[in-house]
Chain A
Amino acid sequence: MTAMSRPLQIASRIAASLVGGWVFVWGLVMLGIGALLRGGVPYEDAQTAMYLLAFLVYLAAFCWTYAAASAWRVWLVLLGGGALMTAVGSWLAGPAAA
C-alpha cells in the first residue's frame, strides 16, 4: 500500500467508487428482488422498490470509498459484498420462486 504512488491511489479509489459501487448496488438489487419475491411481492413491485433504493446506496458507497482508511477494504467490501449478494439473490429468486 505504501509503495503505491498518489496518482495510482487516486485512480484505484475512483475505480472502486464507480465500478465497485456499481457491482455492490447490482448485488443489492439482486438480493432485494430475490428476498421480496420470496416474500410474495410481485416482480414489478420488487424491482421498482429496489431501483428506488439503489442510487441512495450507490451514493453512500461512492462517498464512503473516499472516506475509508483502507482502499483494500473498500475493494473487498464492494466487490466481495456485491458478488455475495448477487449469488444469494439469484438463489432466492431461483426458478422455484418465480
Chain B
Amino acid sequence: MATTTSTTAEDAAAAALTTARRNTVTASWIAFRALLLRDLTVLRKQLNEFLPRTLLQPFLLVFVFTYVFPKIGQGVGGGTGPAAESAFAMLLVAGVVGITILFQGIQSVALPMVQEFGYTKEIEDRVLAPLPVSLVALGKVTSGAIQGLIAALLVFPIAAVVPANDVHLSFNWPVVLTLVPLACITASALGLTFGTRFEPRTVPIMFGVIIIPITFLGCVYYSWTALDPIKIWGFSWLKWLVLVNPLVYMSEGFRGAFTTANHMSLAVVYLALAGFAALFLYLGINGFKKRVLS
C-alpha cells in the first residue's frame, strides 16, 4: 500500500475517520445487539399493551372450554365427567401454548412491520445501522422469538391452573427446552414473511383467510392422531391436509413435551418445524430486502 505523504488537516481528518471505523463483523454484532435492546426496551415500555394482547385470548380459550363447559355440564372432548374433562384440558394446554406463540409472531413482528413499511417508514433508521440488511430482518425474528418465549412462560400457568379439573402434566425437559424456542423462531419468521408481504389494506385478509384457518385447523382443540375418522372414500383427508399448517407441529410437539397425551412422532415435529423455520426465514429475509432496497 502506498504510504501517504500529504499532511493537510483534511487528510488527517480522513485518516482519523477511517481508522475509527470498525470492521463489519464487529460493527454488525454490536448493531445487532443494540437492535434487540431497542425492541426489548419498546416491549418494556408497552407492557400494558403486551400483557392483555398476549394473555386474554389463551385465558378465554381455557376458561370457556375447561372451566365453563364442565361447570354447566356441556361435554367437550367427546365425553363428560372429570376424566374426560381432565383429558381434554391436558390436550388444550399444549394447543394454547402453541397458539400463543403463533400469535406472538403475528403481533410482535408482522403487524408492526406492515405499519412501518406501509406508512411510518420508521424502520429506515434501523436499516441504515451499520450491519447487513438481512441481519436487521434476523434481529426482528430474534426479538419476536424472545417475545414468544415470554408469552409462552406467562400463558402456561394459566392453562394449567384455570381448568376445573386437574391437568395431568408431565414435562419432558429436553424436549421443552428445545421445542419451545424452535416454535418461537418458526412463528417469528412466519411473522416476518407476512409482515413483508401484506400491506395495511390487506391485513384483514391476512387474519380472515390465513390466521383463522391456521388456528382452527392447527390441532389446538383436538389431537392430530384423533383425526383418523374424518374420511372420504376411506381416506383420512383432514389428517393429511392439516400437515401444511405449522401450528399443528407446535400443538402436537407440546403435547409430547408437557403432557402424557397421544401425539405425533417428535422426530416429525422437529423436522417439520425446522423446515418451516428455514422456509419462513428465507422468504421473510428476502421479502424484507425487497421492501427495503430498490
Q: Does A pair with B?
A: no
| Interfacial residues, chain A to chain B (CB-CB below 8 A) | none
B-to-A contact residues, CB < 8 Å:
none
